[in-house]
Chain A
């Protein structure tokens, strides 16, 4: 890919993908792969599912690039595809998938505690802090899927409430309600 290609905006790359330009597709994948995978993993909490769903999102971009309207940002359009795929995946998830995912989340909690620094003078405080984070992480997993998506897009991807509303195709006040309810649920979880 040339310097011109590297400098091209996402929207420009998407228009080139519509003309079946594979170089632009590769560049867009490189730009978004980490974000796409991170969002999918945060929503699904399963490495394999995150890989499958994020790749599927890129395939949808290739297939539907001609339908991308230039009036919105590419990132908004892409996040919408990705989040919808994640929510659909969760909806379709069978009971055993959910069980496995819970186990994965349990492993994640363990690793969170295990990754704390070696024992020092304030070990108790650190462990307690790690436990609080683990509880928060678990509580976030129990939020309603759309609520969780709103939280991840807001706190992890730093999208504004208006952008989240655009991605989730809901009203902006609804996004605010989701965030407030998520805060309330997380606080309840941390309450002694």
Chain B
């Protein structure tokens, strides 16, 4: 097959003559000169793009498109690999938008979980109420958007069980979270109903420690670390996009893995 990009007319081979002498006179100096121009060229591209508004909105539009592609790629029945309990990292890695010294512990005795939105029963929950629900334990990998990962063991109520119990509209688009550390977050309903999405209250068989979200945090195997809000105080089921802390700063919303 002939390339459609090729000219029909064959150029005269003598065209190739003019650089023959150039190659033959090639010397080290040429290599250095070329190297310098290469450096200049690469520096030009390495230039920081100052993120003009048009570029920013184009990137965000593609990011939203990626969110829908990710939703399509998400298989609600696909389970994340699990690991033996012996591989659990103790204590887990701390991560937040502030330092571990700035964690403000939550009092579990007075803590209440608020409910709002498309939920039939909006009565607030105590920690005892929540722990009376069926519990499961999973040992899964936590993957951070930065690239690090560790294996952790989590115990809690599947979010699906909780949503069913409070009569949430499971056809709604989003489940949103509010937290004691002002870290709003939200996930899609399909991921919320995944069997490895937990309202976790224990790590490695023991009550969650303060830096890791006591009394209740979200722990899901199918999304990046920043989609796992800690110190949850309220849950809302909604059809209007709730966004989140890092999402409002440019990070992708779906963040499925």
A binds B: no
